């Protein structure tokens, strides 16, 4: 579809309003953008992770996606799971057919899910300006772009703004839900009609009825980065360290069940098993994944113990789990220092 849309537009000066209108959207006040300039900071990124890393089994050892240049010194913003535990990161400013530039991992933020790397060599791209994600509302037109730039540009619309809860102990309070799904969503840039970065692609969104049908993408709002950018650059991680217990849950028919228990995590050591039903945290009943995270994070800090109320085979169980600092569970040699 995109090739048909852009073939009718002059190659170096694209009217974004025309692209969006051809895709079925009718945004008001869309600015005319030079997309060659706007998309220049959107580059490919490839990270390599050792086979014995904690996240290798679930996320793979070679991870490719998109990064966005956000300052003049080669700082590149991406989604954190691409670079988590990476020992090598390459930037590909000209795509898969171009040269590779080595980069260093700067930070991974457990709370927002974002990651930062910095190129060791100069990048020939002006940084993308950071916009404001807070004003985005349902129905607003945006463009989602992967490292393929024009070939990876997808006119899209904001579907809604709400909480996003991931089973891996992740909660994003003000996620941006966008449709249609971008096939290259990991690290993709969400850009407003003024050519500013407003979100980073993170996760596929499945249909609530048919989980096998993917209907959209979830983007991390750029506003989540701004309050923590300074400490990420200084320390490689946020100052707010949330407790992690290694209890990956999902809601099934109104019941919170344990989906997976990483063997190296605190919950596994305490004896929690996949299939257990979680009914309370620190003595307070919970009814959703959001409740679980908020109660856990408000009740305990890393190094402290928390009581979990479970049901197994219909029988109640109380287990005491010692929460950890998530960063300590990963191979420290692969984390920024």
Q: What is the pLDDT of residue 6?
A: 30
Confidence band of 261 (pLDDT split at 50, 70, 90): very high
| Mean per-residue pLDDT over the chain, rounded | 88
Q: What is the pLDDT of residue 253?
A: 81
Checking if the pLDDT of 14 tops 80, the result is no
Q: What is the pLDDT of residue 97?
A: 83
More confident residue, 235 or 329: 235
**Burial class of 85 by CB neighbour count within 10 A (0 to 12, 13 to 18, 19+):** buried
Q: What is the pLDDT of residue 179?
A: 95
Q: What is the pLDDT of residue 34?
A: 86
- DSSP reduced 3-state for 127: coil
58-104 confidence digits (pLDDT tens): 999 999 999 999 999 999 999 999 999 999 999 999 988 889 999 99
168-221 confidence digits (pLDDT tens): 999 999 999 999 999 999 999 999 999 999 999 999 987 665 666 677 899 999
E-only strand ranges, the chain = 42-48, 62-69, 75-79, 88-92, 101-108, 114-119, 141-145, 153-166, 170-179, 189-191, 197-206, 214-221, 243-244, 248-252, 255-260, 277-281, 284-285, 305-312, 315-322, 324-325
Checking if the pLDDT of 334 tops 80, the result is no
Ordered by where they begin, the domains of the chain are 1-240 (2.40.10.120), 243-332 (2.30.42.10)
Q: What is the pLDDT of residue 301?
A: 95
Taking the C-alpha atoms of residue 119 and residue 111, their distance in angstroms, rounded to an integer, is 24
Checking if the pLDDT of 17 tops 70, the result is no
Exposure string over 168-186, b if 16+ CB within 10 A, otherwise e: bbbbbeebbbbebbbebbb
Q: What is the pLDDT of residue 15?
A: 44
24-33 confidence digits (pLDDT tens): 555 444 556 7
Q: What is the pLDDT of residue 191?
A: 97
Please state the rounded mean pLDDT for residues 309-334: 86
Please state, for a pLDDT cut of 70, what percent of the chain lies above it: 86
């Amino acid at each position: 579809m995109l090739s048909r849309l852009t073939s009718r537009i002059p190659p170096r000066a694209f009217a974004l309003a025309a692209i969006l209108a051809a895709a079925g959207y009718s945004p008001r006040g869309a600015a005319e953008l030079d997309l060659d300039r706007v998309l220049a900071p959107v580059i490919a990124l490839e990270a390599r992770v050792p086979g014995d890393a904690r996240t290798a089994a679930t996320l793979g050892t070679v991870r490719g996606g998109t990064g966005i240049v956000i300052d003049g010194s080669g700082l590149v913003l991406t989604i954190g799971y691409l670079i988590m535990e990476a020992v090598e990161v390459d930037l590909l400013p000209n795509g898969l057919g171009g040269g590779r530039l080595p980069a260093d991992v700067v930070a991974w933020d457990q709370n927002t899910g974002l990651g930062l790397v910095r190129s060791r060599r100069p990048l020939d791209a002006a940084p993308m300006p950071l916009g404001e994600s807070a004003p985005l509302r349902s129905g607003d037109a945006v463009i989602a772009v992967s490292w393929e730039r024009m070939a990876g540009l997808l006119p899209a619309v904001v579907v809604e703004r709400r909480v996003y809860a991931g089973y891996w102990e992740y909660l994003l309070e003000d996620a941006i839900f966008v449709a249609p799904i971008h096939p290259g969503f990991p690290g993709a840039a969400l850009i407003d009609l003024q050519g500013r970065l407003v979100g980073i692609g993170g996760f596929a969104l499945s249909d609530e009825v048919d989980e096998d049908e993917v209907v959209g993408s979830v983007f991390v709002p750029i506003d989540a980065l701004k309050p923590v950018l300074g400490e990420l650059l200084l320390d490689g991680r946020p100052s707010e360290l949330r407790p992690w217990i290694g209890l990956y849950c999902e809601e099934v028919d109104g019941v919170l069940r344990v989906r997976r228990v990483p063997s190296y995590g605190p919950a596994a050591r305490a004896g929690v098993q996949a299939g257990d039903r979680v009914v309370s945290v620190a003595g307070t009943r919970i009814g959703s994944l959001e409740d679980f995270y908020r109660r856990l994070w408000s009740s305990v800090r890393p190094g402290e113990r928390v009581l979990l109320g479970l049901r197994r085979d219909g029988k109640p169980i109380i287990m005491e789990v010692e929460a950890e600092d998530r960063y300590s569970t990963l191979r420290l040699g692969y984390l920024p220092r």
